[in-house]
Every structure is written in C-alpha cells, then in structure tokens.
Amino acid sequence: MSLSPLGASRSLAAVFTPIKSGGLVDEVCRRIELAVETGLLTSGQRLPNEVELAGALGISAVTAREALSQLRGQGLIRTARGRSGGSFIADDALPSLENARSKLRTLTRLQITDLGLHHQAIAVACAGIAAKRSNADDIETLRSYIRPEADTALAWRLASSEFLLEIAAVARSARLARELLHLQADLGTLTLLPFSDGDFCERTADLSEAVTAAIAGHDAATAEARTRELIQATTNWLLADHAAGQP
C-alpha cells in the first residue's frame, strides 16, 4: 500500500512533508535512510511512486526518480515490475542497535545532555499546554500509545515517539509540533537503545500513564513534571550507556 501523509502516523507523515531547500536528492535520501534506521519504514514496505513522492515533497518527478535510483544503488530499496510493483524497502533493511550504539559513541556527554535538555524543554512545554486543551478523545488516543502491541525495542521506541507527538497535537501548537519532529530526527536511532532494556520500558510506560492522567485532569504542573522525568529517563540511560562504553 502506498504511503500517504494523510494515512500515516505523525512520525511517518513528517518523512513525506515538503522539502524547503538544500540539495533535494540528498535530502530525499536522508529522510528515507533515517526513517528506515529509526523503524518508521520497515522491510518490504512500499514507498510512494515517483509522482506521489514528488507531490508530497514538493519536488519534481525527475528529482524523485533520481533519489529513488540513488537509494536503489545503495541497496536500501528494491523495485518490482508489474501491476503490484513499485519501490519497496529492502528485505534486509532493519534498524540496528549496533548502528545506534556506534552513533552514540561519536557524541560527547555534553552533546547528549544538550540534546536531552532541548528535547525536554519542548516536550514539557507541549505537555503543559496539552493539559489545558485536552478532551476525552485526546486522552483515549494518548493511552493507545502507552504500550505497544509487540514487545520489541522497535515497537516500544515507535510508540514512545508517537506518544510525545500526540501530546504536541493535543497542545494544538504547530510550531511546537514541528520543533519536536526536528528534535526526534536529530536524536534519530539513539532512542532505540534504551528500549532494549525491559526495566526502562516499564518505567517509560509508568511515566506515560502519569503524564496522560495529568493531562486528563487538566493538571499542567504535574503534566510538565512527569514529562520532564520521562525525557530525563532517556537522557540518563544514554549517558550511562555512553560511560559504560568508554575505555
């Protein structure tokens, strides 16, 4: 099935939003690569065709064709002919904990802390506003992302990402939502690492429950405090893992 911003999750929809500037082919490739590495696009998943991709990203069909060709050359996608054909994510394209840990090692503790603080500031702001603007339907949607159906690191990571983006949606702030999306892109595959730890998953679920309860009760102060703890838990885990990997 073709991917469309209208039918996708909030995280995946961000992959197929218009590109404003820069090297267009490289930016298309970067988005697809990041979506694969973070698990938003999975093995065997069908990409939009050239016309659909061009329309979603605000680029020409020629640029879309060149980007798909480049991704095909990298082995990240495969192309099938016929009525059920199209471009698909390669069967062996899976998010990698090894790649995530390698990326973590390239960062300093200060960089990890800085990313965490920025992420925390935006998420906390969203939670405080969401607590003032939420309705019953919003709370039901938030609760659907607290625990994933599959008990895998990738499923937990995706559910957590969608939970935070849904808080931004409840806040009804397009600017904060865009900033949160950019931060999640910066963090990229790093956030997959903590969810390989079962205790961390349970801690995240408990904190997400508390955030949701506070938003449902229109308690902005508590929503902000619990969201701060939620983001800090990820930062602390990454810092501990980073320290453990140092010689």
Could you read off the pLDDT of 178-199 as tens digits, one per residue?
Answer: 888 778 777 877 888 999 999 9
Confidence band of 18 (pLDDT split at 50, 70, 90):
low
Q: pLDDT tens digits, residue range 90-128?
A: 987 777 788 788 889 999 999 999 999 999 999 999 999
Beta bridge partners, 86, equal 80
Structural domains in the chain, CATH included, are 10-89 (1.10.10.10), 97-244 (1.20.120.530)
What's the pLDDT at 3? 42
Per-residue tokens: 91: 């069967």
pLDDT in tens, 117-127: 999 999 999 99
Is a pLDDT exceeding 70 seen at residue 69? yes
Burial class (CB in 10 A: 0-12, 13-18, 19+), 240: exposed
What's the pLDDT at 1?
Answer: 36
Is the pLDDT at 130 greater than 70? The verdict is: yes
- The closest of 134, 147, 126, 97 to 231, measured between CA atoms, is 126
Q: Is the pLDDT of residue 34 over 80?
A: no
pLDDT tens-digit profile of 204-227? 999 999 999 999 999 999 999 999
Lowest mean pLDDT, pick from 4-8, 36-40, 125-129: 4-8
Q: How far, in Å, CA of 198 to CA of 17, rounded?
A: 34
CA 133 distance to own-chain centroid: 24
Across-strand partners of 46? 88
